């Protein structure tokens, strides 16, 4: 089933990232960590892609998304960036993008942070952030989504690594075995991975090499 909704607000969080707020249709429901497929008309067809909900059902009256914009692709994200208040938008039923199983390490690259944003916000609100850690990979410092908020939530448990920014005070390079070995001291905990397939494969392989049980690793596409 699809739901017709209306754009309530759109704001830019970074040079290539928007926060989109749309009306919550009736009787649409969702849970923490779920995603929907967004559809926009394009001629006689529709542009479609999945996006994680970053709002919290019990708290937020609207539906919220944080979306990285790829203007050069001329696809759905570029079109989403052009939306205005009161424009129509179509969403699908919600489905699980990942399942929160308890404290552990969130590993994300770029827009792969979006599934983790609502759970981190909720954990902070419930004063249950202890035991959680975030490893966040980006190209440059300017690409770090919600950097200030995530730092406030996680304090010294927020680890950034940048692949194209030597001038930043953050770690430089990629999420590889050496970086994970230096950052993770406890292998007997949950690991949540979200990002490009190449990262998911390499990070999972490196975590297993570190001694993490595969049953503790959850990959989110």
pLDDT tens per residue across span 59-116: 899 999 999 998 776 789 999 999 999 999 999 999 988 889 999 999 999 999 999 9
Whole-model pTM?
0.91
Q: In which band, very low, low, confident or very high, does the pLDDT at 200 lie, cut at 50, 70 and 90?
A: very high
Q: Is the pLDDT of residue 168 over 80?
A: no
- Residue 73 has a pLDDT of 65
* CATH T-level assignment (fold) for domain 2-96: Elongation Factor Tu (Ef-tu); domain 3 (2.40.30)
- Predicted confidence at residue 165, as pLDDT, reads 81
What is the CA angle 86-88-94, rounded to 5?
A: 120
| Mean of all residue pLDDT scores within the chain | 93
Asked if 77 and 67 count as a contact pair (C-beta separation under 8 A), the reply is yes
Read off the tokens for 95. 């489905």
% of the chain surpassing 70 pLDDT: 99
pLDDT of 43: 78
Range name among 64-73, 133-142, 145-154 with the lowest pLDDT average: 64-73
CA distance linking residue 217 with residue 64, whole number of Å: 27
pLDDT range class, residue 169, cuts 50, 70, 90: confident
CATH 3.60.110.10 fits 104-220, yes or no: no
β-bridge pairing 88-92 and 2-14: antiparallel
2-96 and 104-220: same fold?
A: no
Segments making up each domain of the chain, as ranges: 2-96, 104-220
Contact 17, 57 (CB under 8 A): no
Give Cα 90 distance to the centre of its chain: 21
Backbone angles phi, psi at 77, to 5 degrees: -70, -40
Q: What is the pLDDT of residue 158?
A: 96
């Amino acid at each position: 089933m699809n739901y017709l909704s209306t754009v309530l607000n759109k704001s830019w969080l970074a040079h290539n990232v928007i926060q989109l707020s749309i009306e919550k249709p009736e009787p649409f429901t969702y849970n923490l960590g779920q995603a929907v497929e967004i559809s926009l008309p394009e001629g006689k067809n529709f542009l479609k892609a999945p996006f994680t909900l970053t709002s919290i059902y019990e708290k937020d009256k609207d539906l919220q998304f944080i979306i990285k914009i790829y203007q050069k692709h001329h696809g759905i994200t570029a079109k989403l960036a052009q939306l205005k208040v009161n424009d129509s938008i179509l969403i699908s039923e919600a489905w699980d993008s990942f399942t929160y199983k308890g404290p552990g390490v969130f590993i994300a690259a770029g827009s792969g942070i979006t599934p983790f944003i609502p759970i981190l916000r909720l954990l902070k609100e419930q004063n249950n952030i202890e035991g959680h850690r975030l490893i966040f990979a980006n190209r440059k410092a300017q690409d770090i989504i919600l950097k200030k908020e995530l730092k406030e939530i996680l304090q010294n448990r927020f680890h950034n690594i940048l692949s194209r920014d030597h001038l930043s005070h953050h770690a430089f390079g990629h999420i590889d075995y050496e970086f994970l070995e230096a950052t993770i001291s406890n292998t007997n905990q949950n690991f949540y991975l979200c990002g490009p397939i190449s990262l998911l494969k390499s990070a999972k392989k490196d975590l297993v090499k570190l001694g993490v049980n595969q049953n503790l690793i959850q990959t989110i596409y």
